[in-house]
Amino acid sequence: MADKPTHIHPIFDRILQRQDKETQLGQRAVVVWLTGLSGSGKSTIAQALERQLHQDGYFTKLLDGDNIRTGLNNNLGFSAEDRQENIRRIAETAKLFLDGGIICLCSFVSPTRAIRAMAREIVGAEDFLEVYVNAPLAVCEDRDVKGLYKKARAGEIKDFTGIDAPFEAPEAPFLELHTGTETLETSVQRLYDALKPRIGATQQD
């Protein structure tokens, strides 16, 4: 990215390459970026997909709010600026896993087209598979697994996506999952089937 600031550390080609790692793991790396409302099922799908991939011999890393907001991004809040920095760091981290030959599953609301475009640019468009986990707001709010919608309705959480902040649906996602109507198993299977040609056949196939 030509417009990045120059630092005192020049880049040299001194590190084992992504292809070496992909060969070692017997797979092709990719970033699967799940976007959707809170409660739409992103992380549930990501976790089930990861278990399935693991069982079939693929090597993955799952990034989601649970392991990012408590660690790398524990000094960020929920202002517009912090939300952007949150996604920026996540995309850069996903790229580190990608460059390591690892299939990286990212599960984040990432509500705007602009913020996902940024993630896509950081990761590289050819390796960024945007998956729209699409459930109606009413379904997500009815589930309210984490009790966040209730808090948002009560005004305890501001700028909550779907309540008082917009979610902009992807215009051309790699795949759209209808988690309001299809079962978890169906969603995971559809994603797995779509992913398979992109990640190669493992030795177990």
82-120 residues labelled b (16+ CB within 10 A) or e (exposed) = ebeebbeebbebbbebbbbbbbbbbbbbbbbeebbebbb
Q: Is 181 in the site for its own copies (CB under 8 A)?
A: no
Minimum CB distance to its own copies smaller for 28 or for 95: 95
Minimal distance in Å, beta carbon 125 to its own copies?
A: 16
Distances (CA, A) of 26 to 6, 50, 56, 96, 188: 35, 16, 12, 18, 22
Q: Is 59 in the site for its own copies (CB under 8 A)?
A: yes
Q: Is 43 in the site for its own copies (CB under 8 A)?
A: yes
Minimal distance in Å, beta carbon 54 to its own copies?
A: 6
- Which residues are paired to 105 by β-bridges? 32, 62
Active site residue 110: yes
Name residues contacting its own copies, limited to 99-118 (CB under 8 A).
99-100, 102
Minimum CB distance to its own copies smaller for 151 or for 198: 151
Active site residues: 110
